[in-house]
A = this chain, B = another copy of it.
Amino acid sequence: MLIRARWVVPVEPAGVVLERHGVLVRNGVIQGIVPWNEAPAGEDEVALEDHVLLPGLVNAHTHAASVLRRGLGDDLAAAPDARAVREGTLLACAEMLRGGITCYADAFDFPEASLEAAAAAGMRCSQGLLVKETPSGYAADAADYLRKGLEARDRMRDAPRTSFGFVPHDVSDATLRQVATLAAELDLPVRAALKPGELQRLLRAQVLGPGATLAYASEVAAPEVAVLARHGCSLAYCPSAELRQGKGRPPLEALVGAGVNLALGTGGAATNHRLDLLHEMRLAGLAPHDALRAATLGGAQALGIERITGSLGPGKAADLVAIDMSGPELAPRHDAVTQLVNSADRQHVTHVWVGGQALLSERRPQNALFPPLETPRNLWQNSQLRAGS
């Protein structure tokens, strides 16, 4: 298959925009990127004359099923069961795919239910295994969370497009240390909130390292930037969620300058109301190519899957998104990447592929296993969470 586009932005090498190139895909994997006039004959072709072709966007921090509480405010009072998590995650996947997101880092109770939804949708997912110390409808305590999480991973670790990580949430030093040890043993990433004053605790628990991603780090102090950089950490910045909490912008330029890997996330829809990474990319206020890297390769690196996705190059999965630049909202085309990052909406997303599988084409869903793109209103009107709200 050859996907020809007016512009191809591979993200790696940084800052490159290839005009009138095509991405050659075989068995779901990118074979190469070639100029239109050097493309091999006889391929199935998709022609995107007015489009930018990018790596699929990576949402580096969300709580997918919380879309069921969209518009109800911050309070996640209702206790979801596995069915609600599956339904909510399907809805979140429908929204994310229509917005060009091909991969997301989730964190929710009932991780197997989440992954069933991601598999039905065809999305790539890094499933966060939550670890809490307070009882829920899913687990009794930290030990129970860990046991159930690891069992879920054992059962689903060979599923395609699936990876895992730990997400400790409001836990003691002892539990944090236990999570760090398990993560090191199993080579799994850890996502944790970096609240003010927490960095020393994360250091002591040996959480920090190339597999660690910090979220909610708006208030990171200058000396902490150096610590994060020295340990090779990633930062998952969620602009909307942090703005809504009245927080400022982290020192992104200083973090990137020091070598911290920057990723972008939407947070959950209960607070943010939208799982829209194009919106987060704009709000981050970075230089256009830096914003695009954070929304793609930066996210993949944070999830530990940068060898699989996040940029367009030979050997990488064909996770792609096409954005139609012909609308009046994106004119004039002084610079394609600038207009894309500053001005593109989800309405301009026309095609999405994951592992070479077309999931959205000319804005229409292509995956027969995944009905909510067509008829969400029938599926979600009577959800259990709604009754519990």
- List chain A positions with a Cβ less than 8 A from chain B: 50, 67-68, 70-72, 91, 94-95, 98-99, 244, 273-274, 276, 282, 285, 326-329, 331-335, 338-339, 342-343, 345-347, 372-373, 376-377, 380-381, 383, 385-386, 389
Contact = CB atoms under 8 A, between A and B. Distances in A.
B376 A331 contact: yes
A164 B50 CA distance: 38
Given A326-B377, A376-B327, A342 B273 contact: yes
B95 A333 contact: no
A339 B285 CA distance: 26
A92 to B, nearest CB: 8
Contact of A328 (B50, B98, B334, B343): B98
Contact of A381 (B274, B327, B333, B347): B333
Contact of A380 (B50, B67, B244, B331): B331
Contacts of A345: 276, 345-347
Most buried by B among A68, A377, A389: A377
A377 B385 CA distance: 45
A251 to B, nearest CB: 14
A70 B326 contact: no
A13 to B, nearest CB: 22
Most buried by B among A91, A276, A329: A329
A377 B331 contact: yes
B95 A335 contact: no
A328 B71 contact: no
B376 A328 contact: yes
A347 B279 CA distance: 13
A383 B70 contact: no
Nearest to A333: B381
Contacts of A376: 326-328, 331
A376 B325 CA distance: 10
Given A274-B329, A331-B377, A376-B327, A343 B98 contact: no
